[in-house]
Structure 1
Amino acid sequence: MEYVLTMTFLTSGGLKSTLSINGVKPNLSKDLINSLMDIIVAKNVFLTKSGELVKKESAQVTERKITKFEVA
């Protein structure tokens, strides 16, 4: 199984912007995700077409099951 953390922020332009991180641990806590999102907003290292990330909107962890097949 692969887990993906998807975080959605509001930008200074009033739009939503999403960041995804592949390969996260499946047991991430709400507190840890909130802390990460707070750091991302506070450090202000991402700039989108609609401005800086200014507020947390939502977050989710998605589980993906990948099945690979050999083809000839």
Structure 2
Amino acid sequence: MEQTLRLIFRNAEGRTVTMSVSNPKDPLESTDVDNAMDLIISTDIFQTSGGSITEKVKAEVVSRQVNTILEF
């Protein structure tokens, strides 16, 4: 099963910004994710069309499973 970690922030204009990380380590600790999100904000290394990333909204893991039913 494929997993993607989605880090969701708000930028200076109040718009939502999402960063995706494919195949994050397992197990994923919430404190590690929280610290990484704080680091992204504090270092201000990512600029969006709406300005700097200013706050955390949420982090989520999306799991996707593909079952092939027919292949040629």
Q: Which residue of 2 aligns with 1:16?
A: 16
State whether structure 2 residue 9 is matched by structure 1 residue 2. no
Cα contact 1:3–1:26 (8 A) shared by 2:
no
Q: Please give the per-residue CA displacement for 1:41-67, whole angstroms capped at 9, x wherever unaligned.
A: 011111111111011111101112234
Q: How does 1:1-72 map onto structure 2 within 5 Å? A: 1-67=1-67, 71-72=71-72
Distance in 2 of aligned mates of 1:47 and 1:32: 23
User: How many residue pairs align between the two structures?
Assistant: 72
Q: Which runs of 4+ in 1 moved over 6 A?
A: none
* Unaligned 5+ runs, structure 2: none
* TM-score (normalised: structure 2): 0.86
- Please provide the CA RMSD for this pair: 1.5
- Greater shift, 62-71 or 29-38, is seen at 62-71
Cα contact 1:3–1:25 (8 A) shared by 2:
no
SS for the counterpart of 1:40 is helix
Percent identity (aligned): 26
